[in-house]
Structures are given as structure tokens and as C-alpha cells.
Amino acid sequence: MSQTPEIPFGDTVRPTAIADDIALPGPWSKRVVLSSAPGRLADLAEYALGSTGFDRAPWLAVALMCGILAWFALNSAREWILALGSVFALVILAALVWRNRQDRANLRVAVLSVGLTFALGLSAVWFKSEWVGAPAIAKPSFERLNGYVVDVEHLPARDKSRLMLAVREPESDKSRIIRLNTGLLDHQSAVARGAVVRLNARLMPPASPLLPGGYDFARTAWFEGLFATGTVVGEIVVVKPAQSGSSLRGIQRRLSAHVRDEVNGSPGSIAAAFVSGDRGAILETDRTAMRDAGLAHLLAISGLHVSSVIAAAYLITLKLLAAIPPLALRIRTPLVASVFGAGAGIAYTLLTGAQVPTVRSCAAAMLVLIALAIGREALSMRMVACAAGFVMLLWPETVVGPSFQMSFAAVLVIVALHTSPTVKAFLAPREESGLARFMRRCFMLLITGLVIEIALMPIVLFHFHRTGVYGAFANVLAIPLVTFAAMPLIAMALSLDLFGMGAPIWWLAEKSLELLLGIAQYTSGLPGSVKRLPQLDESVVLLFALGGIWIALWSGRTRVWGVLPVVAASAMTIFTPYPDILVGRDGKHAAVRGLDEQLYFLRDTRSTYVTESFAELAPVSGSIVPLANWDQAQCTPEFCSVVVTRSGRRWSLLLARNRIRIEERALAAACDRADIVIADRWLPNSCRPKWIKADRNMLSQTGGIAIYLDDERIRTVADGQGEHGWWVAR
């Protein structure tokens, strides 16, 4: 068959119209027409995959991510096996049908590689779940434990410490990991990593989300191998002290304490976080201000911090070698500088605790250093894809978490933006004054921050239900401040402390961090600085992700098609409904959202976690008040009766305030008059409301629920949990 002629089209080349009669390979001698839509789509894909400007590696990373997400989205082992079988069937079909079609060689390879990569992602997360997953205890209990201290985390801001304890199961040789909270321990306490202790503890299963869209600690605990969480009761007896010696964890703690001794107050806590990754001393008010200002990423050791350390080591080494001509002429200075930069990055990663985000950033930085050492382009989509693939294979569970999504979305935006021809032309060297060059760089930094904020906003809203509006402008000031002032000053002060001369530099570092906090507090205090939205549907976030990935990975006019899903998702976000009634997982806590933008709580609670969770998922701009104080509620010691009007319809609610038993006939009569009944106990079968009976029996199956009266639908925690181990264990 003769090859299809090509004609120029803009800045690319595309095939002309497909021939109407193409001979099929194999025993088929009949000629058929392939001008249908599937045939045209196949030729479009074949052209894209065969073009020289198409990079396959990022799409393989997307396929790997889709396989992992499919495992979380599907409900049972039967569905996982069915998905794997379908993918393998498609791969085999592509290999057989197109095995003799040279014009479909690229498409055949694409189907094979994408399909197998998808299967690899699904299999990787399934394997890890089976390997590390720990079924939780069935119910709360009180136990006396003898265990090995795996780790100790000090949280001065919360006035407590957290122990990770390995306890041997009595009927087997296996050990189980338990996380326990206790009073604040001294850094010099004998309760340290490696010690054997005896204690009494009140244990609880790892908590599932309180409400739909809430944080799923049970899932996190499953992949961390946590059997239970709890609180230490009484004294901790050290049976065997930790072995003496300088562990990396001990160095980290001593370094953190030294920094806090040199820098007082909140700046000292942030400086300690930069140096050692220890964020336990940062006050909650400072965390909130940094989060609402869009600067929370500066408190977590991630790409910015790791890249700053590596860049400093790389540049210092490069300049020192260049200052010695005999060495500079005889060795490859970029290679040596890359080795020193890699060493500094790895040491900093280990020193700060080697958390998953830090390891992820370090891995990406290593790829950049390798590219610099061999003279390749440092910023590329292939580098991002390799780093993402490395993380997804080792920690596949992080794909559904905000840390992975936000960090790689930000890197994707930076690479896509700065490798585009327009930006390259804008930043290209030219004859101009230093001031003009500086202003051009600042403008590009602002644009980059703005685009990153726009890209991250759907992820932030999905996970945290609130986002800072002025984050891009705050980051324009905060990122250079941290990168070029705070972190270099801290590093210089630590170096001078070896000679006892670091005090003046510590003072400068303190002032720079005070300025950082000032930026956060001013930005978060501006009118309208925080935008709250209710829980977004998963389909909305997937549309945003599809559009964003399409825009980032394609080039030319093809990327314009990515705007369509982004526009559709934006419209869906604007019209996201607000829940009218929220019920916690045990029915004890419930709230009704009033038309006056206030949240009316059924019970008073001292738990800030409960009130903040309800306020975030409602969400409301007004205050939180007791339901009994609402003029639309009539409350007795046993029940509250509320009438809520939505879209012209009146809804009658009956909410139990306690577990006091009442006469069954009276309860049945009250249930008959109600549309919705909510209780934290089992209600008899005679209680039959017109729509929903959210009692202990129902909530034990669904978890927390959100009720939408206008749409007459409910959303539950159980939606999408399926038969995953962390939910079955519940």
C-alpha cells in the first residue's frame, strides 16, 4: 500500500484525508471502507504517536497513575481482577490485530505499553495493600502493653508527644504497630527510640472520615501498618533503655532544639522546621495563617527546600572549582558539582526525616543533576514522569493524597510554562539594563505563581474545602525571602556556630522569618482572603485533572482542547450544592445549615476537630450555635424537632439528644410525623419516618452522611469505600 502524502499545516505536518479503500491484512481479501470516526481517531493517534515532538514517558506516568486510581475507585477484588483481565485482553487483541500492520506499529506499541503500565499501577497498589495493610482492632479496648519504641515525635505546640510502639501479638510472632498520645516528654527522656517500655493504654480503631469528604485516617493507617491508636493512661515504665549512640533521629532532635534555643518564638519553630523537618512546635495560629495565605507548602520540607540546598551546594562547588584553573581545565566541573549537590540533597533529606514528600523531591532533583552532569536539558516532562513513576511504584497510596497531587501539579505547571516557546522568548537574554531584566524576572515569577495557584485550586478545594485567594501574590514575596534570605542565613549561622560566632546571623534569620510570618498574617487577614466551598464531586476533580494534563503535555493548537473539560469542571464547581444536614459517623454529632449562614449543632462539644470538620464541609460564613437556640427548633431533654424549608418544601426533622429510653408508641408516633430521624442509638422497627432513619444501625453501614434536601439525595462515607481493607476492618 502506498504511503499517504503529507502537506504542511501551520507549524506541523499532518496526513491528508485517509484513503477510502484500504486492504486488510491476513486472509481477508475484501477491501473495506475505513473512513468512519474510529478509523479517523486511530489515524490521529497514530500520527501523534509517530510525531517527533511527542514524548511518550509522561503519558506512561499518567497510565500508571490511572491504574492506581482505578484500584481505589473499584470496590472489590472481583472488580480489580476484571479490570486487569480487560486490560490484558485489550493488549492481546492489539498485538494480534495489528501485528502485520506497519502503518499501525506506533499505535500497537502505545496500546501495549499504556495497557501494561495501567496494569502495573493497579497491581502495585494492590500488592502493597496486601503486604503492609494491618487490620485494625474491632472495638475500643483498654490494654496493658509491653512494646518497643519505634519512634517518638514531640509536639510542643500541642503540649503532647506521640509514640509509635511495636507490640508482639500474643498468639504469633508478628508485631503490630500502635500510635499513642501522651503528655509532652522531655527530649532527654529515657522514653526514646529503641527503648522497651510498659504502659497502660486506651486503644481505638483508626478513625474513618467523620463526614463525607473528610480526612480518611483509617486509610492512611492501613498503609502505615497501624493496628490501633490511643492514649497512654498513667506512667510509662522503661523496661530497657535505648542503646546509647548518636542516631540520625537523635541528631535531628538536638539540631531542632539548638535552633529553637537560638531563635525564639514562632520564627524559631519555623527555622527548626526548615533545618530538621520538626514542625511540632509551630503554633496552630501560625499554621492557619500560612495556610490561608497560600504559604503552607513552605512549612513542609519539599521541592523548594531540597532544591535550594542542592542548588547552593552545586553553585558553591562550581564557583570554587572555577577559581582553581588547573582543576577547572582537567575535570568536568558540572559532573563534580552534581556529585556534591547530590550528596547535600541526600544528607538534607535524611536529616529532615526522609518523609515521602522530601524523598519525592530529592528523587526529582537527582534526575535534574544527572541531566546537568551529562549536558542534557534539566527541565523536561520526561524528568517529571520519571520522578512520578519512582514515587508511584514505591508509595502508590500517595496518589490519592494532597501532597503528591499538589507537588507534581506544581512541577508540571512550572515545566510546561517555562518550556513553552512564548516564555522562552520572553526570558531569553537581550540587551537591556539590569533593572529591566530584574523586573522581567519578577513578572515571570508572579505569572508562574498565579498559574500554579489556579492549577492547585481544585486539588486544595477537594481535600481541604478552602483555599487562599491571594496566594500567588504572597508567594512572590515569600518564596524569594525563604530561598535567598532565610535558608542561606540559617545555613550560615549553623556553620558559624561551630566557632561560636553565629549569633548575629541568627538575629538576621529571625528577622527574615518574622517578615515571612508578617506576610502570612497580612495576606490571610485581607477581606475575602479565603474561599470556602462544599465537598467537590470526584468527577469535577477528574475533569480538572484531564484538562490540566492535556494542556501541559500536548503542544501547539492541540492543547486548546484541554480547555473544554476545565470549563465544564469550573461550571460544575460553581453549581456545587451545599449540604443541608450533616451527621457524624456515630450519630452523636449532627448539624443543620440555616439560611442565615449559621450552623446549628445538635450537641455542644469541646472538640475543635468536630466543629472545624462540620464548618469546612457545610461550609458557613456565620457562627456555630446550639440547635436548641434556633427559633425554628423545639427541643426537649430527649429530642429536638426542626422544620426546614428548602425550595418551597417543608422538611420535618427529629434529632435525638441523648440515649434516654422513651415509650415506644410515643416514639413511633413522632417518627411518623417526621421526614428524617437522626439518633446515635438503635431505633425500633416501629420508628418509620417518611424518608431517612439515620440511627446507629444505618450509620454503622454508611458512616457519616450529608443530606441535600433540594436534590433529595444523601452522600455517605461508605460511597466508594467498597471492600478495601481499612473499611472492612471498621
SS (H, E, C) 173-197: CCEEEEEEEEECCCCCCCCCCCCEE
Confidence of residue 622 (pLDDT cuts 50, 70, 90): low
Confidence of residue 595 (pLDDT cuts 50, 70, 90): confident
pLDDT at 34: 38
**Bridge partner list, 183:** 160
DSSP class of residue 558? G
pLDDT at 171: 65
Work out the burial of residue 358: count CB atoms within 10 Å of its CB; fewer than 13 is exposed, 13-18 middle, 19 or more buried: buried
Percentage of residues of the chain with pLDDT beyond 90:
27
For the chain, the helix, strand and coil percentages under 3-state DSSP, each to the nearest 5:
55, 15, 30
Q: What is the pLDDT of residues 458-493, one digit of tens each?
A: 998 898 888 877 887 888 888 888 888 888 899 899
Helical H segments across 374-420, by residue range: 381-394, 402-418
Q: What is the pLDDT of residues 273-288, one digit of tens each?
A: 888 877 878 888 888 8
Question: What is the C-alpha separation between 703 and 210, in angstroms, rounded?
Answer: 8
Question: What is the C-alpha separation between 590 and 610, in angstroms, rounded?
Answer: 10
Confidence of residue 321 (pLDDT cuts 50, 70, 90): confident
402's CB contacts (< 8 A; 6+ apart) are 459, 460, 463, 464
Percentage of residues of the chain with pLDDT beyond 70:
89
Max Cα distance, the chain (Å) = 98
Please name which of 394, 407, 297 lies closest in space to residue 361, comparing C-alpha atoms: 407
pLDDT at 129: 93
Q: Which helix (H) or strand (E) holds 378?
A: none
**Which conformational region is residue 245 in: left (phi greater than 0), alpha (psi within -120 to 50 degrees), or beta?**
left
Question: What is the C-alpha separation between 176 and 198, in angstroms, rounded?
Answer: 15
Question: What is the C-alpha separation between 150 and 167, in angstroms, rounded?
Answer: 10
pLDDT at 96: 84
Residue 144's alpha-carbon distances to 83, 139, 191, 200, 516, in angstroms, are 45, 16, 17, 4, 46
pLDDT at 71: 96
For cell 486506651, the residue is 202
Res. 308: pLDDT tops 90: no
Which amino acid is residue 643, in one-letter code? V
Res. 12: pLDDT tops 60: no
For the domain covering 141-245, report its CATH number: 2.40.50
CA atoms within 13 A on the CB side of 59: 18
Cell of 7: 502537506
Q: Let me know: does 271 contact 288? Beta carbons within 8 Å.
A: no
Please name which of 245, 252, 518 lies closest in space to residue 260, comparing C-alpha atoms: 252
Question: What is the C-alpha separation between 675 and 677, in angstroms, rounded?
Answer: 7
Cell of 175: 508485631
Question: What is the C-alpha separation between 395 and 364, in angstroms, rounded?
Answer: 15
pLDDT at 21: 39
**Domain residue limits, the chain:** 6-132, 141-245, 396-468, 538-574, 581-728
Structure pTM? Answer: 0.84
Question: What is the C-alpha separation between 134 and 228, in angstroms, rounded?
Answer: 9
pLDDT at 40: 54
Confidence of residue 440 (pLDDT cuts 50, 70, 90): confident
Average pLDDT over residues 672-688: 92
Chain-centroid distance, C-alpha 318: 36
Question: What is the C-alpha separation between 701 and 725, in angstroms, rounded?
Answer: 15
Q: What is the pLDDT of residues 51-79, one digit of tens each?
A: 444 567 889 999 999 999 999 999 889 99
Mean pLDDT over each residue of the chain, to the nearest integer: 83
Q: What is the pLDDT of residues 189-204, one digit of tens each?
A: 788 888 899 999 999 9
Which amino acid is residue 68, in one-letter code? I
pLDDT at 690: 93
